[in-house]
């Protein structure tokens, strides 16, 4: 029996949440029954191919689709030809650009389409227009996966039938976080004394992630606890502004912005507390990774975060944008080791029960099989 081929299509701006979801999914999906393939757009001004690098390391088939402009007919034909030549059974898309190209590349070809919808981050008028067009195009897809109830409701509000929509929570491979690290050595690499407490987060440096709120809380915490360090790992357009604000607050020595970190388990190993100050989220992979790395967590009460972080059970929840609450929650965990340890233990159990990559992949396979069983589609 030939393998069922699933093309995962993404226009990437780095290795962030959506890329992490794809990486976990294809790793788990690769089997005698399924052959995942990663397809990535190569944009001339922003040619992020980290997913391709990942695929090559994992011996997963991949394809690069050159795209010179917003609407590139050659790109569309390239995707169309790839799908036909490789006998792709299902195309799964991640993001408005891949949704657009996949839809028109498969016109009249009877290839099932699944869109995994991450939150629409409407940071500009242009992006708002793209989001509006995207929601119209999604009506033509066979199935839509929302990564949170909030995203699902936004899709329904766009006039898309609820029967087409499923919610599949993100999941991770917990085994990646079992490795032991030389924490003293790693802290020295960052210029952090061994005795210092380290609070950190991982994610794209953009406004919806709430890093300004964490910076404001950090200023107050560092004044009370001068040996405390903060790390925000990731890259994005706000990096220089965050650096400037940290300097303005006179905490730049204790507020580190190391950029993209490839080894997330290694970074998490040096943290005492993980903080997720987001203003808008689905169920971020970074949060699940911190739980798997056995870190006490402070997070905001947005999106699907409360599915993983139950207040006072698996972490502490604060309202988004509430700097004093964020500050107080961090200080509470700094001062109460017993409570922090209890949250860590409960969080680790929750990951195994609800948020592994095996659970996520099983749910996607059920969705694939639903389409395979539809004789009109396959």
| pLDDT at 378 (0 to 100) | 41
| pLDDT at 83 (0 to 100) | 97
Phi-psi domain of 225 (left: phi exceeds 0; alpha: psi -120 through 50; beta: other)? beta
| pLDDT at 368 (0 to 100) | 96
The correct answer on CATH 2.40.30.130 for the domain covering 174-354 is no
What's the CATH code, domain 4-171+357-372? 3.40.50.2000
Phi and psi at residue 194, in whole multiples of 5°?
-60, -35
Residue 377 has pLDDT above 50, yes or no: no
Integer CA distances (angstroms), 374 to 32, 226, 264, 378, in order: 22, 62, 40, 7
Phi-psi domain of 286 (left: phi exceeds 0; alpha: psi -120 through 50; beta: other)? alpha
- Tell me which DSSP letter residue 307 carries: H
Residue 293 has pLDDT above 70, yes or no: yes
| pLDDT at 1 (0 to 100) | 63
- In angstroms, the CA 286 to CA 249 distance is 27
| pLDDT at 121 (0 to 100) | 63
Give me the mean pLDDT over the 291-320 stretch. Answer: 96
Q: Do residues 311 and 317 touch, judged by C-beta distance below 8 A?
A: yes
73-83 pLDDT, tens digit each: 999 999 999 99
- In angstroms, the CA 56 to CA 88 distance is 19
Percent above pLDDT 70 for the chain: 97
Ordered by start, the domain boundaries in the chain are: 4-171+357-372, 174-354
Give me the mean pLDDT over the 298-317 stretch. Answer: 96
* Buried-state track 354-373, b at ≥16 Cβ within 10 A, e below 16: ebbbebbbebbbebbeebee
- In angstroms, the CA 365 to CA 284 distance is 21
106-152 pLDDT, tens digit each: 988 889 999 999 776 655 677 778 778 888 899 999 999 998 888 89
| pLDDT at 118 (0 to 100) | 79
Mean pLDDT of the chain: 92
Percent above pLDDT 90 for the chain: 77
Give me the mean pLDDT over the 239-264 stretch. Answer: 93
200-224 pLDDT, tens digit each: 999 989 899 999 999 999 999 999 9
Judge if 4-171+357-372 and 174-354 fold alike in CATH terms. Answer: yes
Residue 175 has pLDDT above 60, yes or no: yes
| pLDDT at 375 (0 to 100) | 45
Largest CA distance in the chain: 66
């Amino acid at each position: 029996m030939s393998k069922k081929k699933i093309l995962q299509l993404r226009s990437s701006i780095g290795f962030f949440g959506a890329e992490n979801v794809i990486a976990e999914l294809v790793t788990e999906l690769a089997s005698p029954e399924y052959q995942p393939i990663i397809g990535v757009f190569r944009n001339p001004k922003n040619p992020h191919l980290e997913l391709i690098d990942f695929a090559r390391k994992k011996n997963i088939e991949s394809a690069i689709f050159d795209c010179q402009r917003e609407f590139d007919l050659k790109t569309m034909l390239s995707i169309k030809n790839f799908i036909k030549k490789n006998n792709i059974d299902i195309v799964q898309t991640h993001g408005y650009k891949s949704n657009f190209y996949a839809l028109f590349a498969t016109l009249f070809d009877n290839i099932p389409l699944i869109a995994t919808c991450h939150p629409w981050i409407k940071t500009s008028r242009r992006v708002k227009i793209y989001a509006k067009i995207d929601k119209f195009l999604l009506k033509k897809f066979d199935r839509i996966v929302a990564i949170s109830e909030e995203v699902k409701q936004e899709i329904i509000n766009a006039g898309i039938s609820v029967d087409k929509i499923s919610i599949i929570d993100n999941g991770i491979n917990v085994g990646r976080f079992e490795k032991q690290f030389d924490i003293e050595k790693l802290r020295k690499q960052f210029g952090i004394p061994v005795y210092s407490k380290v609070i950190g987060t991982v994610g794209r440096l953009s406004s919806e992630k709430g890093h300004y709120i964490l910076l404001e809380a950090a200023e107050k915490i560092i004044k009370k606890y001068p040996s405390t360090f903060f790390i925000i790992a990731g890259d994005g357009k706000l990096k220089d502004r965050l650096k400037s604000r940290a300097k303005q607050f006179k905490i730049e020595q204790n507020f580190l912005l190391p950029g993209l970190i490839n080894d997330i388990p290694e970074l998490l190993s040096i943290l005492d507390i993980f903080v997720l100050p987001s203003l808008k989220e689905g169920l971020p992979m970074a949060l699940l990774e911190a739980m798997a790395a056995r870190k006490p967590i402070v997070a905001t009460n947005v999106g699907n975060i409360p599915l993983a972080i139950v207040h006072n059970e698996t972490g502490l929840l604060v309202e988004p944008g509430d700097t004093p609450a964020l500050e107080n929650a961090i200080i509470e965990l700094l001062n109460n080791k017993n409570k922090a340890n209890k949250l860590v233990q409960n969080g680790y159990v929750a990951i195994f029960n609800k948020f592994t990559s095996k659970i996520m992949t099983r749910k996607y396979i059920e969705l694939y099989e639903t389409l395979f069983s539809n004789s009109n589609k396959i």
